Chains A and B, each alone.
Chain A
Amino acid sequence: MLRIKGGKVYDPKNGVDGVVRDVCISGGKVVADVDGGRVIDGTGLIVFPGGVDVHTHVAGAALNFARGLIPEQHRNAHPIVRDHIRRAGIVGATPTTFATGYVYAGMGWTTVNEAAVPVLSAKHTHEELRDTPMVDKTCCVLMANNEMMLDLLEAGDHERARQVLAWHVWAAKAYGVKCVNPGGVEAWKFGKDAKQLHEPVPGYKTLTPADIVSGMARACDELRLPHAVHLHCNNLGAPGNVSTTLDTMKALEGHRAHLAHLQYHAYGGDDWATFRSESAKIAEAFNANTNLTCDAGAVLFGTTVTITADGPWQHLLYQLTGKKWGNLDVENETGCGVVPYVYKEKNIVNAVQWAVGLELMLLIDDPWRVSLTTDHPNGAPFWRYPEILHLLMNADFRKEQIARLPEKARSRIILDQLTREYTLGEIAILCSAGPARALGLEHKGHLGVGADADVAVYHAEQDITKMFSHPRYVIKGGEVVVEEGELRQSVEGHALAVKPSYDPQVEEFIRPLFQQYYTMSFENYPVTPDRVHGLQVNELSN
């Protein structure tokens, strides 16, 4: 039992905005009151529900491939020295699994959504997540370039497509469905892309990316998945891609969708020389489409590594940077590319990208529908989130940073015109309550009775970066894991998965196709429940 006494509580879901009150915890849950137990003096402290990361890449074959590609970055990264609590590790752009858990919790984040998991290597992803302590974990399975799905969508057999989708979600022990560059990753297997939303995907007669987007969104809605289709739109990163993103919003036909890393999809201009921000157009359309949620995918200047299932984009980035490039094609379902990258303040494109991420968070008027992410590690490593909060909460600080950008970049952004400053209550929505709602995690992101006892307690400081980097206390599942800014114990998190409702007979449709086109036994394909550590299943009914 635990009582956090007299802290200033921010619990937006329950309408609590900076009210001094107690938070009581028992049995890993928030309760109305406790009699006895430990008391933490919260006087003068700020109490938030634990952070929720709606889109991050912390585990899996692609990230692990990236780890292998950048030993020179690890050498300069922060090492974690083994002690009686912690396992050894390396932080940097691609933290090792144990380090990932320590660093997230050390910052007050207690739930993460690994946003890209192929079924074929899902067993591996779950092995890594098992070794990621301190946080609860969900993951999204990659389905928008799965040939079985695409064939069904082209044939117009939506009923079976939904069944096949449901089967794959459960086979991967996933929580949601991810669509990356619909059709484009499939086309990349012959070195092509799918940049036009309404033109057939190379290799298909009639199927367009727009068909895939609407088909997948509809199926996710019909399956009543708690998290909407998690969509990485076509044409990521390209100048002028604003039109593709706006078209995608229309193609959804009112279905729910979560638009991932929206920053990378909000650019104007005709080429790199005329590259500019179109965040105003995107935000306007987004504000009007209440079926949508999104995350920022913000960029910070510095060294990182980009990892995405968007293979064709990564090949372009390799040609642009002339740096290392790794490509993985995952049989008949997806692919991935890895390119180390440095975002430079003096580079006009990078400067615009930096501004667009912030502009979107400031222009989207409903903080419940936008979440803080950097598409870790693509825009910046997740442990730099506090720097972004600083920029959002302090317009003067923002102005100072804008002044450092090249003149040419400043003329292509609108960030200098935005005076909005996030309040603490809005930050609690952006980092916790909002992403928990977007994911459909009812027990996360709030401090009402019955919520999971994941709490972050900060000491109010002038320096916002410092404040959010070093919480005074972090409580995970009712256990005090961080105290006086130090890690006190390592706890295991849960793996949260959904089991959508489907007809088991669909397996007889999948099996022969699988045996014809894949290279392993069908029986070895799904992840068996015993391989997923701390599995908690949400069984859905139709």
Chain B
Amino acid sequence: MKNRADLIIYWGGNPAECHPRHFTKYTIMQKGRYIPNGRKGRTMVLVDIRETPSAKAADVFLQVRPGKDFEVLTALRAVVKGQRVDAASVADTGLSLEQLTDLANRMKACRFGVLFFGMGLSMTRGKHMNSAAALTLAAELNAFTKFVAMPMRGHGNVTGADVIMRYTTAYPFGVNLSRGYPRFNPGEFSTIDLLVRGDNDATLVLGADPGATMPQPAIRHLANTPTIVLDPKVTHTSRLAKVHITTAATGITAPGTVYRMDEIPLPLRPPLTGPYPTDEEVMRRIREAVQRKEQVAA
């Protein structure tokens, strides 16, 4: 996209504040092999429910009524394919048919289009159906031009966790190993659902702060059962945990690898040294201690 994208759409995200380097390092501000004029050679569209600071960077801002993203995406798919779309039903989404037609024309006319979608799309009404609609729209646009879509992810190295879960268990998240082999069922085995139902009797938290983001019943369960946190700093979760082991900060006092949102790994070289062990070392020592205990029991 740095070298080719002449149409960049952000949908349900606020990169100016949430991914502040995205514009400058990867997308609109970069000059590329086939975009020699940088910003002037690209069109940016922002689709969101409110006018965030990212709107200032956009050439076109489309304000969708909250919860209507799926309808907009579906109508767009129809417009792209030249099917008849009822203007009155589009009006209900907060956008006009003219606006959708204009966007569809831009998408079909570009040389290389990219659709970034954020949690404003994937975590609001419709959830994964919204993501599916966005991905389908991008796939179908390849009948006209080159078009790709990519989620704007957050929470540190979530992509790295996803990648490693996939090659060790075949599934990205929500994996249950209690039968000795991986089983996958989002909604049943995913973290929030386990915690809310109170299915688990202990929790190990690695590189995450669920106490800051998860629903109250989940947080209550973390507080009421043994929770162990590995984290370089004090977090919402560490405050309610039974045990907090301070670990080295990866990239600052410990080496490691972080995955970009496009699943490209980057090595981290620590500029400083510190007194704390790495997450890996703590996990290895816990495992060794458990193995010794098993041997004694045997």
Contact = CB atoms under 8 A, between A and B. Distances in A.
Interface of A: 59, 61, 64-65, 67-68, 71, 74-75, 77, 79-83, 87-90, 92, 94, 96-98, 120-121, 123-124, 127-128, 131, 147, 188-191, 315, 318-319, 325, 327-329, 331-332, 517, 519-520, 524, 528, 531
A124 B163 contact: yes
B277 interface: no
A191 B5 CA distance: 12
B166 A68 contact: yes
B146 A88 contact: no
Given A88-B177, A98-B168, A191-B112, 6 more contacts: A67-B166, A81-B181, A90-B181, A123-B267, A189-B4, A190-B112
Given A79-B182, A96-B170, A191-B146, A517 B267 contact: no
Contact of A318 (B2, B139, B146, B267): B139
25 contacts: A64-B166, A67-B170, A68-B171, A68-B172, A74-B170, A79-B181, A89-B169, A89-B182, A90-B170, A96-B167, A96-B170, A96-B182, A97-B168, A98-B168, A121-B264, A124-B265, A127-B164, A190-B111, A190-B146, A191-B112, A319-B143, A328-B262, A332-B3, A519-B26, A520-B264
Nearest to B175: A88
B266 interface: yes
Contacts of A318: 139
Contacts of A315: 142
Contacts of A524: 266-267
Given A87-B168, A88-B182, A319-B143, A64 B163 contact: yes
Interface string B106-145: 0000011000000000000000000000000001001101
Contacts of A189: 4, 112, 146
Contacts of A90: 169-170, 181-182
Which among A121, A124, A528 has the highest number of chain B CB atoms within 10 Å? A124
B25 interface: yes
B180 interface: yes
A61 B263 CA distance: 7
A75 B3 contact: no
Nearest to B4: A189
B244 to A, nearest CB: 29
Which among B168, B170, B177, B179 has the highest number of chain A CB atoms within 10 Å? B170
Interface of B: 2-4, 25-26, 32-33, 111-112, 139, 142-143, 145-146, 148, 162-164, 166-172, 177, 179-182, 184, 257, 259, 262-267
Contacts of A98: 168
Contacts of B266: 520, 524
A442 B277 CA distance: 44
B167 A81 contact: no
A310 to B, nearest CB: 15
Contact of B4 (A75, A80, A124, A190): A190
A71 B184 contact: yes
A59 B167 CA distance: 8
A82 B184 contact: no
A393 to B, nearest CB: 33
Contacts of A329: 148
A524 B267 CA distance: 7
A315 B112 CA distance: 15
B169 A121 contact: no
Nearest to A83: B180
Contacts of B265: 121, 123-124, 127
A64 B182 CA distance: 16
B21 to A, nearest CB: 11
Those 5 A-B pairs whose CB atoms lie nearest each other, nearest first: A79-B181, A191-B146, A81-B180, A90-B170, A74-B170
Contacts of A319: 143
Contacts of B179: 81
Given A123-B265, A190-B146, A519-B2, A74 B171 contact: yes
Contacts of A531: 267
B280 to A, nearest CB: 14
Given A121-B265, A332-B3, A517-B33, A96 B145 contact: no
A325 B148 CA distance: 11
Contact of B168 (A89, A327, A517): A89
Contacts of B257: 123, 127
Nearest to B3: A517
A94 B170 contact: yes
Nearest to A60: B167
Nearest to A125: B265
Nearest to B147: A191
A524 B172 CA distance: 26
A71 B171 CA distance: 7
Contact of A64 (B4, B167, B177): B167
B181 A88 contact: yes
A59 B264 CA distance: 14
A425 B259 CA distance: 47
Contact of B263 (A88, A121, A131, A327): A121
A315 B259 CA distance: 26
A89 B169 CA distance: 5
Contacts of B262: 328
Nearest to B141: A191
A67 B146 contact: no
Nearest to B112: A190
Contact of A96 (B2, B148, B163, B169): B169
Which among A77, A83, A88, A98 has the highest number of chain B CB atoms within 10 Å? A88
Contacts of B25: 519
Contacts of B166: 64, 67-68
A83 B181 CA distance: 10
Which among B143, B163, B184 has the highest number of chain A CB atoms within 10 Å? B163
Nearest to A79: B181
